[in-house]
Amino acid sequence: YLISIKSNNENNENDDLVKMVLRKKPQKVAHASAHALHREFRVLKALQHHNRLHPTRKVPVPKPISYCRDKNVLGAEFYLMEYVEGRIFTDPCLPGMTPQQRAKAYQNVLITLANLHMVNPSEVGLENYGRAGNYVKRQLARLLAVSHKQSQLSGSQPVPEIEAVAKQLQDAALQCPDQVSLLHGDFKVDNLVFHPTNPQVIAVLDWELSTIGDPLCDLANLSMMYLMPGIEKGLGVAGIAGKDLSNTGIPSRQALAQHYCELNSKISQKQAMEWGGFYLAFLFFKNSVIIQGVAQRAKTGVASSAMANRVATLLPVVISMTQTILKETPPPMSTTPTATAENKSRL
């Protein structure tokens, strides 16, 4: 919610209103861990502290103001944060920008992402914000358990295609780079606020999925746009698949990964390129489980909107995309798996 509050500053001769954003937890949530606004507020405060310590490596975020745990006030927990005036693009083509501006905008997006992944969690009070190591492996186990539960609730057997893809990903997860950093969890263009006129990121939003995890998941999340159809398809999430990017200022998927690695020395270009398909497949698998949940709720009448029914029909498409990614860009599996957790780079 966007709210306006009258300033009580005695020097405010014009009775200016102060704009703030109120983030409120839904009164009914599907899971106890869903809509973890307290974590979002915590990470915003931590990043404000990081920005004061490292002004040349800032991660731009709205200023958190106050958190209220008393459900009697508004019916649910909520917090207030600064309102950041700027542009939010639901289309990664960044309409309205020139090619030169788009190039600078995407460069700034990657600087922001690299700065985020170079935050030292222990330095800003986030040392216990998540478990270090085996992030993708743990996520896959959790997602598969959720998928099984969803199948059970809809009165059907586990989806064979989901089971097969999960097995492929689980085998590869034993050997993936498994780097550790602060993770946004849903880093993409429409979760960024750009300056009103300049091609610069001035705020990163929606931190409720943030944790300690594998930074290549954030890079892959941003890269999903290259495989998603355009905004005109009306799927709710827009991409740039099939678009001619020449002379647009938008980097190719390979150039995006390469530039990110130039900005974050902890990730080698070899790792990012060889394992890029694995991380993309993991995120598409994650979305297939989410879509399965939408389908299950639509089937049982919990979600009956036209959009829910439409999303439910996408399950075979997303699973097929996951299978195609693994086939066309398979992870560089060694024949003799080695213990990974002990050998990974740590902050």
State pLDDT tens for residues 212-257: 999 999 999 999 999 998 887 766 678 999 999 999 999 999 999 9
pLDDT at 7 over 90: no
Average pLDDT over residues 54-76: 96
Write the pLDDT tens digit of every residue in 197-215.
Answer: 999 999 999 999 999 999 9
pLDDT tens-place string over residues 126-182: 999 999 999 999 999 999 999 999 888 888 888 899 999 999 999 999 999 999 999
82 HSE (CA, 13 A, CB side): 15
Task: Write out pLDDT tens, residues 296-310.
Answer: 776 666 555 666 667
CA distance linking residue 318 with residue 6, whole number of Å: 48
Exposure string of 58-77, with b = 16+ CB inside 10 Å and e = fewer, is: bbbbbebeebeeeeeeeebb
Give how far the C-alpha of residue 126 lies from the chain's centroid of Cα atoms, to the nearest Å.
18
Residues, the chain: 347
C-beta separation of 46 from 124 below 8 A: yes
Q: Among 186-195, 258-267, 272-281, 329-338, which stretch is predicted with the lowest mean pLDDT?
A: 329-338
